Amino acid sequence: MTIEEKLQHFMDATTQKVNAENASQIEDYEKGLEKVLSDYKENALRKAQLSLKLKEESLKKQKNAEVAKQQMEIREQTGKLQRELQSKLYTEVKGKLERYMATGAYERYLINQVREAKRFAGRDQVTIYIDPADMAKQNAISAAANTPVLVSGYEFGGGIRAVIARQGILIDQSFDTKLREAFDGFVFHLDAPSAAAAGAGKD
């Protein structure tokens, strides 16, 4: 083999070796790139999923907060309307009672209440009071019921009050007490709109 042939053979062998090494390095580099790209995609997907989950939770919290706010507004509006209706009804009932107190039927009612209190007391002494507004009826009531009747030192809206001291009993047939008992816990049943409906109305 001539020197040229030997040199050519050496160059071919060297080139083949270098090419093989380069091919191996390129393959390793490509695999490394694929691994980096795969990891990047996996991390990006995980971050995207986490971001989406956080946004969904945030929207859910905002929605719940909005619903709670609307429900509170509805309760406040309903409570305000309840108070307005109760006040209006109380005024109407009070007005009817005042008109009733100007009739003869009311005086007969007082006489019957005095008799009932006296009957309930039996042999025990009973002190019977009428409202200061009914002072003009005092003598007529006492005569009709055949028992003393006193005018109270303070107003109680009409009706009577009686005290049986020996038994420690208060008979309270005053109109103020009857009205208070009637309105305590009294609730108008209102068809309040749902929070969803209230929200729809804002669109």
Give tens-digit pLDDT for 20-74.
776 777 777 677 768 877 888 888 888 888 888 898 889 888 889 889 988 888 8
Residue 122 within any structural domain of the chain:
yes
- Whether the predicted model's global pTM rises above the 0.75 cut: no
Least confident of 83-92, 102-111, 155-164, 184-193: 184-193
For 2, the domain range is 1-54
Residue 110 within any structural domain of the chain:
yes
**Both 99 and 172 in a single domain?**
yes
Please, what is the Cα angle at 151 between 147 and 155, to 5 degrees? 135
Residue 166 within any structural domain of the chain:
yes
**Both 99 and 39 in a single domain?**
no
Q: What is the distance between the alpha carbons of residues 117 and 106, in angstroms, rounded to a whole number?
A: 16
Residue 62 within any structural domain of the chain:
no
Adjacent-strand bridge partners of 159: 174
Residue 181 has pLDDT above 50, yes or no: yes
Residue 188 within any structural domain of the chain:
no
- Look at the chain and report how many structural domains it folds into: 2
Residue 69 within any structural domain of the chain:
no
**Both 177 and 109 in a single domain?**
yes
In the chain, the N- to C-terminal Cα span, in Å, equals 95
**Both 108 and 179 in a single domain?**
yes
* Residues 111-137: tens digit of each pLDDT: 999 999 999 999 999 999 999 999 999
Residue 9 within any structural domain of the chain:
yes
Residue 160 within any structural domain of the chain:
yes
| Burial class (CB within 10 angstroms; exposed 0-12, middle 13-18, buried 19+) of 177 | middle
Cα 135 off chain centre by: 47
Q: How much is the pLDDT for 196?
A: 44
Question: Which of 81, 61, 67, 56 lies closest to 202 in space, CA to CA?
Answer: 67
**Both 104 and 167 in a single domain?**
yes
Token pair for 122: 């039996």
**Both 105 and 162 in a single domain?**
yes
